[in-house]
Structures are given as structure tokens and as C-alpha cells.
Amino acid sequence: MTVQAVQSRSATSARAAVLAYIVVSGLVLLLMMLLGLTMRLAQAQWISIQPDFFYVIMTMHGAGMVGIAGLSGAAVMWYFVRRHVPVSTAVFVANLVFFLIGAVLILGSGFIGGFAAAWTFLFPLPAHSGELWSVNAAASYMVGLLFVGVGFLLLHLDIARGILSVYGGLGAALGVKQAFGLAPEDEGPPAAVTASTMVLIINILGILLGAAVLVVSLVNLYVPSFTFNALAAKNMIYFFGHVFINATIYMAVIAVYEILPVFTHRKWKTNRAFYFAWVLSTVMVLTVYPHHLLMDFAMPTWALIAGQIISWLSGLPVLLVTAFGALTNVYRSGIKWTVASGLVFVGVAGWAIGVIPAIADGTIEVNSFMHNTQWVPGHFHTYLLLGMVAMFFGFMTYLVPRTTGALLPFGFWLYLVGGSVFVLCFLAAGSVSVPRRYAVHLPEWLPYDRVASIGATLAVLGALILVLNFVIGLPSAMREEAEA
């Protein structure tokens, strides 16, 4: 075989792997959305399920969504970063395999073992089930999470290897010199490389801490006399959870940098502000997590105050570089709106808009009234459902555009309108103190649940159309790839 033949064959298998990621992500996203809808319908008292089953669904929805957001983000990141650095398709596929093994263990822990300690598995809850789930079910969940973590760790290490082989150091790949004006900004790394570098720095640290607390909790399950400080466990879990879910957005945003310019015919200019924002975000995403613990009065007060201030600060790079960059790129560009470019644009908007209620809740005084109310799922569903997932759906539709014809834009609008209604109901309910994670709601809370259920139904239908469009277009996309 010639060198070209080998290269093109490896490109084909790489693309096939990305498409496999997207199929799995799309289908699991749909399934997890259906679990979410089930919870809202149950709270609205339009369907009836037992509380123990509600909390199983809640646990699966939380863990599943975080995981699948990671997987779909990884598809975006890997697709674009491999244009610049050598990465291994085998490792990429291995991550998918690890993910699927982990998913089976997690789903089994919930739907067979009845495990329902929420995705947060806050120590020592997994061992205190009230006879509802066994030690083995809890262990299955934790080992499942470990599998997912190991897969992502391998993937990040492989991307790190590729990045180091081209750029020599993580600082150079992040654009640290450009950020501080020590090197010309037009010699900086591409946006996809900068974002991937940031993601691997934060996620490797996050996964290691997550794995540590998982192992400790696992030992506690089988050796109850081995205990651990509950506050330390909470710190580690929220550090890991915060980093991982944020990383999914930072992975998906690469789709914005790469796809919007294709439609606007304007280059996405990486400049000093861009690199500076990413360097700053790398530090802040690692230090902002105490804002999850603002109601843990036992925490050192300085850490909580820092958590508030960094929450406010960390919104700035996001809003001012990515959102402003997207607006500038699109402004009077003559763009022909397609569902793909529209979704990516909505993704930036949803992300930026979701930052507002997030910053509000990151304020200690506000947190006293909003913590663990539906305000919390309200803000993160805004920047995940209408932000991160919209970016991913945009990427998906970019790879396989219009196969379902007029149905596709209809799906886009259903998703956008339904999703907006849905997240606003969460926020409104949070502002009237409706708690989150309640299987049963008081009568006065039902109107919020019912309108939210309608919004969620529309959003799920929209997502169904977007994913179907991809699945239907997949064979011809593969064929074109083979012929090209």
C-alpha cells in the first residue's frame, strides 16, 4: 500500500469512529432526555411512578447526561484537533468501549440493582440505602464511573502526547506566550488546539480526584469501619463533577470556532484576548468549584468567598471572547442560515445566557435562598441543553446535513422553543423555592411542572428529529466518504 492509501484508510476509519461516537451520543442523549421527561411528568402528576423508581431514574439521568455530554464533547474535540496533531484512532475507540462498559455497569446498578444515591454519590449515602439497594449495586455504579473515567484519561493522555509532539509543551499549545504578549498573536496555536489543551489539563486533574474519592467510597462499602471525612469527599466530588461537566462545554465549543466560519466565510481570529481568556479559564475552572459548597458553613469562609468571586470572574472570558466572537463573526456576514449553523449559534447564546443565573447562584447571599432549588437545574440546563448539546447537535448536523428535508428545521425550532420553555420553568420554580430532586411535589408547584413537561416534550421531539436526521443520513455519508 502507498503512504497515501494508508493515510486515507486511517482517515476513513477515524471518521467512522467519530460517526460511531455521534450515533451513540445521539441515542443515549435521547434516552436520557426521556428519563428527564419521565421525572417532570411524574412531578406534574401526569404519570405515576414510585419514589424509589423516580430516584433511580434521577440517578441514571444525572450520571448518564454527564457521561454522554463528555462523550459527545470528545467527538467534537477529537474530530477537529486531529487536523493539527497526531492522535490515535485506537485510543479514541478504546474510550468508547470503556464508556460502554461503564454505561452497562451504571445502568445495571440502577435499573437492576436499584441504586439511587444521585450522580453525586455523596459519602456516606451509597452505603446507607435504607435496604433499597445492595452494596454490590453501589459498587457497580462506582466501578462503572471508574471505567468511564479511565477511558477519558486514556483519551486525554493520547491527545496530550500528540499535542506535545507538535508544540513541545502544554503552555505553548495553550498560547500562554500569546496571552501575555510575549509572542506574536498570529503565531499562536489554532483554537482547537488551545481548547483541547485546556480540557486535558483540567480533566486529567478532575478525573484523578474523582477516581480517588470513588476508590475511597468503594472501600467504605465493603469495609464500613473504613470511613472518610464527609466534607472532604464532597469537595472532591464537586471538584471532579464541576471540572468534568465544564470540560464538556469547552470541548463542544470547538465546533463553534470551526463551524461558524464555514458559513460566515469569515476567519475566527484567535488573538491575544482569546488566548488570555483560555489561560484564565484553565485556572478558574479548577478553583471555582467551592461555589457548590456555599451552604456548607463548615468550609473555610475564605474558600467560599473565593468561590463567589471566581464565579463572577469566570463568566467574563466566556461572555466576552466566545459569545462576542460569535456575534462579531455572524454580524452582517451574509450568512445563509442552516440548521447546523443555527444550532451552533444557539449553542453560544444558550451558554452565555445560562451564565447569568449561574453567576447569580454563585453568590453566597443568593445561594442562601436558591441552593438546591430548581434554580440550579434551571441554570445548568440552560447552558447544557441549549448550549453544549445544541453545539453538539450543530456539529452532528454539520457532518450530515438535510436528509429529512423540511422536517429538520422543524426539529430545530421544536428543540429551541421547547427547551426554552423547559428551562424557564425550572428557573421560575426555583425563584418560588421549589426544591430540586423531589419525587413528589406540593399542589402549588404543579403548574411549573406541567408547563415544563410540555416544553420538555417539545424539546425531546425536536431532538428526536435532529438525531433521526443524522441516523438516516449516515449510510450516504459513509458512502460519500468511501468514494471521496
Partner 1 sequence: MVQEVVWGVSIVLMGTLAAVFAWVAIGANVALADYGPIIASAYRLRTWLFGLAIIVLIGTNYYTLGKLPYVSRMSAPTSAKAAQPVEAVAEQWSWSIKPDAFRVGETAEFHVASKDVNHGFALYDPDMRIVAQTQAMPGYINVLRYTFNEPGVYRVLCLEYCGVAHHEMTAEIKVSTH
Between 299 and 474, CB nearer to partner 1: 299
Q: For residue 163, give the nearest of 247, 85, 76 by alpha carbon.
A: 85
47 binds partner 1 (CB under 8 A): no
52 binds partner 1 (CB under 8 A): yes
Residues 257-286 binding partner 1 (CB under 8 A) are: 264, 266, 269, 273
Work out which of 7, 10, 165, 229 binds partner 1, going by CB under 8 A: 229
Work out which of 7, 10, 165, 368 binds partner 1, going by CB under 8 A: 368
For partner 1, which stretch binds (CB under 8 A), given 70-78, 150-158, 240-248, 355-363?
355-363
371 binds partner 1 (CB under 8 A): yes
Question: In this structure, what are the phi and psi dihedrals at residue 476, rounded to the nearest 5 degrees?
Answer: -70, -30
CA distance 68 to 474: 20
432 binds partner 1 (CB under 8 A): yes
Work out which of 1, 4, 297, 405 binds partner 1, going by CB under 8 A: 297
Work out which of 187, 332, 406, 484 binds partner 1, going by CB under 8 A: 332
Question: In this structure, what are the phi and psi dihedrals at residue 83, rounded to the nearest 5 degrees?
Answer: -75, -20
Dihedral over alpha carbons 343, 345, 347, 351 (to 10 degrees): -160
Work out which of 164, 205, 439, 461 binds partner 1, going by CB under 8 A: 439
DSSP state for residue 435 in the 8-state scheme: B
417 binds partner 1 (CB under 8 A): no
Between 140 and 322, CB nearer to partner 1: 322
- The SS3 call for residue 373 is strand
DSSP string covering 94-162: HHHHHHHHHHHHHHIIIIIT---S-TT--TTGGG--TTSS-HHHHHHHHHHHHHHHHHHHHHHHHHHHH
428 binds partner 1 (CB under 8 A): yes
334 binds partner 1 (CB under 8 A): yes
Pattern 53-82, partner 1, x by CB under 8 A: --x--x------------------------
- The SS3 call for residue 165 is helix
328 binds partner 1 (CB under 8 A): yes
Work out which of 164, 356, 464, 474 binds partner 1, going by CB under 8 A: 356
CA distance 206 to 459: 31
Q: For residue 79, give the nearest of 240, 192, 229 by alpha carbon.
A: 192
CA distance 367 to 295: 7
Minimum separation from the CB atom of position 412 to partner 1 (A): 12
Between 1 and 443, CB nearer to partner 1: 443
Q: How many amino acids of this chain bind partner 1 (CB under 8 A)?
A: 81
C-alpha cell at 336: 445563509
